């Protein structure tokens, strides 16, 4: 059952490899307000590279999070990313109704590396050029095996996925709501997760393309555990700045930087490919979100290494909330981590 049209709140549930985040947003004429928020960390190997290794642990964590935040929550907006999702962009002659659907399906059959029968397709019209009578289409294809497995996981946790979105598009939702998009600036949104980093490009004020790279902050966590001989819980505390008295900060910085080689290489390759495709000389602005934005020393290092001005995304910038309601979590301090669930909760669900 989907949300009714009268529903004035939406719940975004972000199932990440490191933690599960939940955000509930209330809608009013005045805008959006944060109504509920919760985070639960997962066991280190519960989800690895988009593959659920410990299903019971993930389901238990989701259910515990729901019980903690609001046991009445049933309908959620969720998202996927990684190897099971493909995005593409193409132009077709401007059409409407079934003609447009047939044209898009034909293009999808030509472009998808998978059999069309094995994927679930969706599309969005980016823009229509009335002069050339051409429509620019964004195509999203999710492998059925990957999608169905994820949906079953949510259902087995006692929830109903009202919408299945894509991580990168959720980050774009959050960015668009909170910031003015400058059409003169080529911008890249980088949602830096634990195992996967979502990259989305904005060119001339519009969506251009997305790309996911199989690298994130897991390597940093592992390096800190090894260097300082810490378990996963203590490594997490070190990254959060809760062990400044017992962990040498210069050594921590050096360890973080030395563990980013694969991430830097992946980003550089992705940016180079984009510049070739879009025929641009440079990327003007990088907007960083996800858990990686909260890793000490990392944003500054990325900015210097990639030589792109960097800003950390605040998905709550234009969202109302009462800090006293969330004292134990301090939303303003962990805001970048909430980018995907906030973007999901911004989805209008009928």
**One-letter-per-residue 3-state SS of 278-332:** HCCCCCCEEEEECHHHHCCCHHHHHHHHHCCCEEECCCCCCCECCHHHHCCCCHH
User: Using CA atoms, how far apart are residues 51 and 35, in angstroms rounded to an integer?
Assistant: 31
Token pair 């940093």: residue: 220
Work out the pLDDT band at 241, boundaries 50, 70, 90.
confident
The pLDDT of residue 2 = 35
Q: And the tokens for 46? A: 């519960």
Residue 131: its pLDDT value, please?
84
Partners of 77 in beta bridges: 12, 163
**Alpha carbons 148 and 158: distance in angstroms, whole number:** 15
For residues 74 and 244, what is the distance between their CA atoms, to the nearest angstrom? 40
Largest CA distance in the chain: 66
**Confidence tier at 309 by pLDDT (50, 70, 90):** very high
Residue 6 has pLDDT above 50, yes or no: no
Which of the residue ranges 45-54, 234-243, 276-285 has the most confident prediction, judged by mean pLDDT? 276-285
- Binned at pLDDT 50, 70 and 90, residue 3 comes out as very low
pLDDT at 44: 85
Round to whole Å and give the CA distance between 315 and 295.
17
Q: How far apart are CA 227 and CA 342, in angstroms?
A: 34
- The reported pLDDT for the residue numbered 129 is 86
> If you search the block for the tokens 């919760």, which residue do you land on?
38
Distance CA 226, CA 109 (A): 47
Q: What is the pLDDT of residue 111?
A: 75
Band of residue 197 on the pLDDT scale cut at 50, 70, 90: very high
Q: Kindly state the percentage of the chain with pLDDT values over 90.
A: 73
Q: Looking at per-residue confidence, does 216 or 86 come out higher?
A: 216
More confident residue, 348 or 61: 61
What local confidence, expressed as pLDDT, does residue 327 receive? Answer: 81
Cβ(136)–Cβ(127) below 8 Å: yes
Q: Is the dihedral of CA 7, 207, 80, 289 positive or negative?
A: negative
CA gap 152, 293 in Å, rounded: 31
pLDDT at 101: 83
Average pLDDT over residues 225-239: 93
pLDDT interval class at 304 (50, 70, 90): very high
What pLDDT digit, counting tens, does each position of 210-221 carry? 999 999 999 999
pLDDT digits (tens, 9 = 90+) for 52-69: 999 999 999 999 999 999
133 close to 94: Cβ distance less than 8 angstroms: yes
Per-residue tokens: 216: 């994130």
Contacts of 86 (CB under 8 A, 6+ apart): 112, 113, 114, 119, 140, 141, 142
pTM for the model? 0.92
pLDDT at position 1 is 32
For 25-43, the pLDDT digits (tens) are 999 888 999 999 999 999 9
Cβ atoms of 279 and 256 closer than 8 Å: no
Instruction: Provide the pLDDT for residue 49.
Output: 82
**Which pair of tokens denotes residue 3?**
């949300």
Question: What domains lie within the chain, and their CATH numbers?
Answer: 1-83+145-178+314-350 (3.30.420.40), 85-141 (3.30.1490.300), 180-312 (3.30.420.40)
Q: What is the pLDDT of residue 273?
A: 96
Predicted confidence at residue 70, as pLDDT, reads: 95
31 backbone φψ class: left, alpha, beta (φ>0; ψ -120 to 50): left
More confident residue, 348 or 81: 81
CB burial of residue 165 (10 Å; 0-12, 13-18, 19+):
buried
> Span 341-350, mean pLDDT?
89
Q: What are the pLDDT digits (tens) for 172-187?
A: 999 999 999 999 999 9
Q: What pLDDT is recorded for position 350? A: 63
- The span from the CA of 236 to the CA of 221, in Å, is 7
Percentage of the residues of the chain whose pLDDT score is greater than 70: 97
Distance between CA atoms of 201 and 245, rounded to whole angstroms?
Answer: 40
């Amino acid at each position: 059952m989907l949300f009714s049209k009268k529903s004035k709140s939406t719940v975004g549930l972000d199932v990440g490899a490191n933690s599960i985040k939940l955000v509930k947003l209330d809608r009013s004429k005045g805008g959006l307000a944060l109504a509920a928020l919760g985070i639960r960390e997962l066991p280190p190997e519960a989800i690895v590279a988009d593959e659920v290794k410990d299903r019971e642990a993930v389901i238990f964590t989701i259910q515990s999070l729901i019980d903690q935040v609001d046991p009445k929550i049933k309908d959620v907006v969720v998202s996927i990313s990684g190897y099971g999702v493909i995005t593409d962009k193409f132009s077709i002659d401007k059409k409407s109704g079934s003609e447009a659907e047939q044209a898009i399906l034909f293009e999808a059959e030509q472009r998808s590396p998978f059999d069309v029968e094995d994927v679930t397709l969706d599309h969005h019209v980016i823009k229509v050029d009335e002069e050339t009578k051409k429509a620019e289409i964004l195509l999203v294809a999710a492998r059925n095996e990957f999608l169905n497995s994820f949906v079953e996981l949510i259902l087995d946790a006692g929830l109903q996925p009202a919408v299945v979105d894509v991580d990168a598009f959720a980050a774009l939702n959050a960015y668009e709501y909170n910031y003015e998009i400058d059409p003169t600036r080529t911008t890249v949104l980088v949602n830096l997760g634990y195992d996967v980093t979502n990259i989305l490009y904005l060119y001339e004020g519009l969506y251009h393309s997305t790309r996911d790279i199989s690298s994130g902050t897991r390597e940093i966590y592992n390096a800190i555990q090894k260097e300082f001989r810490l378990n996963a819980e203590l490594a997490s505390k070190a990254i959060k700045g809760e062990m400044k008295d017992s962990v040498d900060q210069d050594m921590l910085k050096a360890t973080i930087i030395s563990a980013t080689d694969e991430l830097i290489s992946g980003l550089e390759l992705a940016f180079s490919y984009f510049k070739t495709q879009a025929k641009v000389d440079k990327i003007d602005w990088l907007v960083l979100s996800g858990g990686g934005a909260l890793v000490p020393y990392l944003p500054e290092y990325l900015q210097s290494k990639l030589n792109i001005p960097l800003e950390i995304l605040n998905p709550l910038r234009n969202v109302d909330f009462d800090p006293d309601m969330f004292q134990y979590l301090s939303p303003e301090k962990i805001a970048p981590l909430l980018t995907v669930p906030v973007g999901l909760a911004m989805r209008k669900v009928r």
